Amino acid sequence: MSESPVASGQAAVDQLLEVLDLEHTGEMTFRGMSPPVGPQRVYGGQVAGQALVAAGRTVEPERFVHSLHGYFVRPGDPVEPIEYQVENVRDGRSFSVRRSVALQHDKPIFFMSASFQRQEEGLDHHAPAPAGVPGPDEVPTMTDRLSRYPERLGIWGQIPRPIDVRYIGEPGWVRPGDRPAEPNQRVWMRIDGKLPDDPLLHACALAYASDLTLLDSVLSVHGEVWGPGGVVGASLDHALWFHRSFRADEWFLYDCWSPSASGARGLATGRMFTTDGRHIATAMQEGLLRRVGA
Q: Backbone phi, then psi, for 50, in 5-degree steps? A: -65, -40
For 114-129, b/e burial (b = at least 16 CB within 10 A) is: bbbbeeeeeeeeeeeb
**Active-site residue flag, 276:** no
Q: One of 164, 211, 216, 249 is an active-site residue; which one?
A: 211
Q: One of 113, 220, 258, 285 is an active-site residue; which one?
A: 285
Q: One of 185, 220, 235, 258 is an active-site residue; which one?
A: 235
- Amino acid identity of residue 63, one-letter, is R
Q: Please give the Cα distance from 269 to 185 (Å, whole number).
A: 10
Instruction: Give the DSSP per-residue string, the chain.
Output: -PPPPPPBHHHHHHHHHHHHS-EEEETTEEEE---SS--SS--HHHHHHHHHHHHHTTS-TTEEEEEEEEEE-S---TTS-EEEEEEEEEE-SSEEEEEEEEEETTEEEEEEEEEEEE--------PPPPSSPPPGGGS--HHHHHHT-GGGHHHHTTS-B-EEEEESS--TTS-TTS----SEEEEEEEESS---S-HHHHHHHHHHHHTSSTTHHHHHHHT--BSTTSEEEEEEEEEEEE-S---TTS-EEEEEEEEEEETTEEEEEEEEEETT--EEEEEEEEEEEEETT-
Q: Tell me if 70 sits within 8 A of 104, measured CB to CB.
A: no
**Active-site residue flag, 235:** yes
Residues with catalytic function = 211, 235, 285
